[in-house]
Amino acid sequence: MVNGRGSRFRIGNIAGHDVYVDLVMMGIFALFVLWGRTREEMALGVAWLVGGFLSVLVHELGHAEAIRRLKHR
């Protein structure tokens, strides 16, 4: 479901942090999949999509956890 803050929707909660997916970001990552002309290229695109999503997720969770720990000082 898209909330009032644009084109993102909540997919869950990890360690007390709400996780949202931005449709624009996923669209850009999806271009990697659509760029492929063969099954192998499309599979590589899917790998980029998953890897890109996970790397951004871990990076942003690091920011969220750092803020949480600094607030408790």
3 domain residue, yes or no:
no
Total of domains in the chain: 1
**Given this model, what pLDDT does residue 1 score?**
46
Between 58 and 52, name the one with better pLDDT. Answer: 58
Q: What is the pLDDT of residues 18-57, one digit of tens each?
A: 998 888 878 887 887 788 889 998 888 888 888 988 998 9
Residue 17 predicted with pLDDT over 50? yes
Distance CA 12, CA 36 (A): 30
User: Which domain range does residue 49 map to?
Assistant: 8-71
Q: Give a yes or no: residue 67 inside a domain.
A: yes
Half-sphere exposure of 70 (CA within 13 A, CB side): 6
Confirm whether 1 is domain-assigned: no
* Position 18 in a domain: yes
pTM of the model: 0.71
